[in-house]
Structure 1
Amino acid sequence: MASGPQAAGVPAVKAAGAPALPSPRCEQVPGLTDADWQPVLDAVRGASAVDLVCHVLPDGDALGSALAAGIALRSLGVEVRVSFGDDPQVVPGSLGFLPAQELLVPASAVPDRPDLMITFDVADAKRLGLLRPKAEAARTLVVIDHHASNGGFGTHPLVDPSAPATAVLVDELLRRLGVPLDRDIATCLYTGVATDTGSFKYAATTPATHEFASRLLATGLRHDLISRRLWDTQSFGYLKVLAAALDRAVLERDAAGGLGLVWTWVPWADLVAHGVLPEEIEGLIDVVRKASEAEVTLVLKEDPDGSLRGSSRAKGAVDVAAACAGLGGGGHVYAAGFTSHSTVDTTVARFRDGLTPS
């Protein structure tokens, strides 16, 4: 079980003293209606225990959303378990500041057939890892997500691709449940929206996104410390892995219809040699994608079994989700991923063949 210090070293603000949530923000969740939300609200209000789970190798939006919901439901007197399906279950160091990590339990502690399970930021049941069979056996499975590639699994899918982050949908859930914001909840939600918008740089960021962030900042959270942990703190070992990955980088100017592809890969041996955990290199793609000559970026990360986890990004002219779908993956139009059991060269070739300018 993981545990972490109070959010960025800032004492929590009690919910009783926090400002009440405002009236509905329909512009932030246009893809969902009252009819979509009501059965979920009924299920949560009628539950004595809820299992809140996110995808394997969780990022800030996944874990932040799950923990925010956990804090809120705990305040309502619900027994809460938060989990993700990795073994060993390791919280990324960049997310070690998130509050309420005492709610985390290993996948084995989740019931084989939960009465109510809610997944966060999970576009496909395969991304649940060890928790997939338990999710599929759940009596009620709520899926809260914002990926366009989500096929709508679960008994109650709440999927809105227009939302910039799953955290926005969680905020709406808490508003409808009548749970006010406190600093801990806001810290989790801010981490989610900041992560999935690339610190508010990506195209999905709207005026409503900044209004959402403004409400969160009003609780007094330290966004500067959060940002430092998310983007500006790495081990020396990571720098060595990064240097090797950049040395392997390949620029293919003719790929993607002449818009360009830059790609690299990280062998498992590099991580072992420098004592780096897999989750530490998730942000490597944000360095590689800076190449001005390429519209598309691909980073392949080898796992101990030899499989390759691919992460891809596009700058606005290519649908990388479609290319990743051809490899059994998916995600957003401009940010998607997949898992491959082929060689590096074969995987890159298949990905390249799937790139089509919009």
Structure 2
Amino acid sequence: MAAQQAAGTPATLVVGVPALPSPRSGKAVAPDLTDGGTAHGGLVDSDWEPVLAAIGSASSVDLVCHVLPDGDALGSALAAGIALRSLGIEVRVSFGDDPQIVPASLGFLPAQDLLVPASAVPDRPELLITFDVADVRRLGLLQAKAEAAETLVVIDHHASNGGFGTHLLIDPAAPATAVLVDELLRRLGVPLDVSIATCLYTGVATDTGSFRYSATTPATHELASRLLATGVRHDLISRRLWDTQSFGYLKVLAAALDRAVLDPEAADGLGLVWTWVPWADLVAHGVLPEEIEGLIDVVRKASEAEATLVLKEDPDGSLRGSSRAKGAVDVAAACGALGGGGHAYAAGFTSHDPVAETVARFRAALRAG
């Protein structure tokens, strides 16, 4: 598909800490800046200033997200890429998978001509910015290059992020990394166009579960309103994200549901439902790993369980665990006990133990909040 270009003439790059401009469109409540805060609550002007300066002085910028990117990760990186390209900055967007495959559900995202393989990212980047990466290990093939970067900016909203960069823009209160990218672009003076807005809307919709999760706030809907005002086709985005799957996926889903186990005594009696997907199932039905990321949203509907766990086997036999909770259990803590992390309601980990042992360890780590 042909990549869409950012519309309009290049914006003027503002370096330093500019005065907060008026909202891009519509009406918004003015931010409270009495404590030095910004339009986005958890970060202050002094957090943004060095990042703006680094972008303003960079001749090229590498924008990277985590392996097996979701809509928030890839959408955030591409939105930033479109914006920086409009400022005349050389931009590369990448993620550390080999082969590097954009999930079919995200194939509509614009500006994919900015994507380069991990091998095309310099060994020592001048400025590298990560998006939606809570742990440097989630960069895969790009981890070493990120750690060698002259300047490493981390833009993220995971509470489990320990801070691995030279400049941190981390706000766990943000419902999506895309919200922070919107603030970054506002501070750079880059106006929203339909291409940027499509990427940002995809990020926000993905990480809020189409605005259903508890992290969704009035400000989230205000942002969505501004994005939709550019002409974003939210109906088509939603169809691609949630309502389009291959027949092979349905077969894998059916087998996973048949394996599902309900453990009502887990999580101090709040219940756990879990299942797993062997690599052989994906091979048999021609399904890519990224296609089954949404499987957990089906399993988690069980009313008898507060927590959900889906284990997905990789070719090397390791297991990628995805977990969800409905509010009374902190799955980030449970996943952290297994070497992973994430949000209280959505987290993950990698295990090299057998399925039964992995489930037992996860179960032991679950506690009612």
Q: Which TM-score band applies after superposition, normalised by the shorter structure?
A: over 0.9
Give the TM-score normalised by the residue count of structure 1.
0.95
Q: 1:229: which partner in 2?
A: 240
User: Aligned to 2:174, what secondary structure does the other structure show?
Assistant: coil
1:184-333 residue pairs with structure 2 within 5 A? 184-333=195-344
1:45-124 residue pairs with structure 2 within 5 A? 45-124=56-135
User: Out of 332, 350, 361, which is 1:350 matched to?
Assistant: 361
Give distance in 2, aligned partners of 1:31 and 1:200. 20
User: Out of 15, 24, 34, which is 1:21 matched to?
Assistant: 24
User: Aligned to 1:297, what secondary structure does the other structure show?
Assistant: strand
Contact 1:57 1:279 in 2 (8 A): yes
Q: 2:19: which partner in 1?
A: none
Give distance in 2, aligned partners of 1:99 and 1:258. 46
User: Out of 158, 162, 175, which is 2:186 matched to?
Assistant: 175
Contact 2:256 2:276 in 1 (8 A): yes
Give distance in 1, aligned partners of 2:295 and 2:38. 33
Give distance in 2, aligned partners of 1:164 and 1:29. 11
Task: Please tell me the root mean square deviation across aligned C-alpha atoms, in Å.
Answer: 1.7
Tell me which amino acid in the other structure corresponds to 1:21. R
Contact 1:84 1:131 in 2 (8 A): yes
Unmatched segments (≥5 aa) in structure 2:
12-21, 32-36
User: Aligned to 2:58, what secondary structure does the other structure show?
Assistant: coil
1:78–1:27 distance in 2 versus 1, CA, 3 Å: closer
Per-residue CA distance 1:75-118 (angstroms, 9 max, x = gap): 00000000000000000000000000000000000000000000
Contact 1:73 1:80 in 2 (8 A): yes
Per-residue CA distance 1:159-195 (angstroms, 9 max, x = gap): 0000000000000000000000000000000000000
User: Aligned to 1:336, what secondary structure does the other structure show?
Assistant: strand
User: Aligned to 2:280, what secondary structure does the other structure show?
Assistant: helix
Per-residue CA distance 1:177-225 (angstroms, 9 max, x = gap): 0000000000000000000000000000000000000000000110000
CA offset at residue 294 of structure 1? 0.3
Q: 1:152: which partner in 2?
A: 163
CA offset at residue 21 of structure 1? 2.5
1:217–1:6 distance in 2 versus 1, CA, 3 Å: farther
Per-residue CA distance 1:8-48 (angstroms, 9 max, x = gap): xxxx7724599973687567621110000000000001111
Identity %: 81
User: Aligned to 1:143, what secondary structure does the other structure show?
Assistant: strand
Contact 2:311 2:321 in 1 (8 A): yes
Contact 1:29 1:162 in 2 (8 A): no
Contact 2:6 2:83 in 1 (8 A): no
| Runs of 4+ more than 6 Å apart | 17-20
Contact 1:32 1:160 in 2 (8 A): yes
Unmatched segments (≥5 aa) in structure 1:
none
Tell me which amino acid in the other structure corresponds to 1:288. V
